[in-house]
């Protein structure tokens, strides 16, 4: 059992999204003792953007594997994803959507003719499905009646991951983190408790 934990906040281990996604990993480890965890911290190991060769390869109509540049990076990142039985993503909202570091990862793993293929009905995923947990932290409200901003983060991830076959998606949310210390404390408690409930654990007081 392999868990791939991707973290996208520039705040590393201090990040709210890191706290939340780490709680998911903790609960998964309790459920699957002995599972291994691969941490891909996109703040420490920022990916370069995809390059011209990569863009040409994707537009060529067939898969064009490569060992160097973005194609090589893409192969390695896809292999890491394929090895994972469970994917956990911790991400903040940045300007209404995913941070650019996470977008760079997506551009490397969502690859036409490799992890997906075209069909008359649209893009079809090539990867076997597996559970995906997404932990999102946002400064303001992102969902519900209190939201004063459009959310291009969760709907985006719910659209792009199924394109490669990852459809079993569960989202945990920490919202209003920039709305004062009191709200931040409450949001943390609520979000961590939601994870615990999901994994069948009542949160200790």
Ligand X SMILES: Cc1cc2nc3c(=O)[nH]c(=O)nc-3n(C[C@H](O)[C@H](O)[C@H](O)COP(=O)(O)O)c2cc1C
Asked if residue 6 binds ligand X (CB under 6 A), the reply is no
Asked if residue 96 binds ligand X (CB under 6 A), the reply is yes
Identified binder of ligand X from the candidate list 77, 161, 177, 195, rule CB under 6 A: 177
Nearer to ligand X, 42 or 71 (CB): 42
| DSSP class per residue in 119-175 | -TTS-EE-SPP--EEEEEE-SS--SSTT--S---SHHHHHHHTGGGT---EEEEEE-
Could you tell me the smallest distance in angstroms from the CB atom of residue 22 to ligand X?
A: 11
CA 53 to chain centroid, in Å, comes to: 25
Asked if residue 43 binds ligand X (CB under 6 A), the reply is no
Question: Which x/- pattern over 123-152 shows residues binding ligand X (rule: CB under 6 A)?
Answer: --------------xxxx-x------x---
Identified binder of ligand X from the candidate list 95, 143, 170, 186, rule CB under 6 A: 95
Nearer to ligand X, 132 or 137 (CB): 137
CA 121 to chain centroid, in Å, comes to: 26
Contacts of 149-152 spanning 24+ positions with Cβ under 8 A: 149/96, 150/96, 151/93, 151/96, 152/96, 152/97
Asked if residue 101 binds ligand X (CB under 6 A), the reply is no
Q: Which residues contact 23 (CB under 8 A, 6 or more apart)?
A: 135, 192, 195, 196
What is the C-alpha to C-alpha distance for residues 161 and 95, in angstroms, rounded to an integer? 20
Nearer to ligand X, 27 or 183 (CB): 183
Q: Check: CB of residue 153 under 8 Å from CB of residue 96.
A: yes
Identified binder of ligand X from the candidate list 94, 103, 111, 114, rule CB under 6 A: 94
Nearer to ligand X, 18 or 103 (CB): 18
Identified binder of ligand X from the candidate list 56, 178, 185, 198, rule CB under 6 A: 178
Asked if residue 9 binds ligand X (CB under 6 A), the reply is yes
- Which spans of this chain sit near ligand X (rule: CB under 6 A)? 9, 11, 15-18, 92-96, 137-140, 142, 149, 177-178
């Amino acid at each position: 059992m392999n868990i791939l934990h991707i973290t996208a906040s520039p705040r590393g281990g201090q990040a709210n999204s890191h706290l939340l996604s780490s709680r998911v990993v903790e609960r998964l480890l309790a459920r699957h003792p002995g599972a291994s965890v691969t941490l891909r911290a996109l703040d420490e190991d920022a990916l370069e953007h995809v390059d011209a060769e990569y863009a040409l390869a994707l537009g060529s109509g067939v898969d064009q594997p490569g060992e160097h540049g973005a194609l090589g990076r893409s192969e390695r990142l896809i292999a890491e994803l394929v090895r994972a039985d469970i994917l956990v993503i911790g991400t903040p909202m940045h300007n209404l959507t995913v941070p650019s570091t996470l977008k760079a990862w997506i551009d490397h793993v969502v690859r036409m003719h490799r992890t997906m293929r075209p069909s008359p009905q649209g893009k079809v995923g090539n990867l076997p499905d597996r559970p995906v947990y997404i932990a999102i932290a946002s400064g303001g409200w992102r969902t519900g009646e209190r939201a004063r901003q459009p959310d291009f983060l969760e709907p985006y991830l719910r659209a792009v991951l199924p394109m490669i076959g990852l459809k079993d998606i569960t989202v945990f949310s920490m919202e209003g983190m920039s709305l004062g210390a009191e709200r931040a404390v409450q949001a943390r408690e609520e979000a961590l408790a939601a994870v615990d409930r999901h994994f069948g654990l009542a949160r200790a007081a």
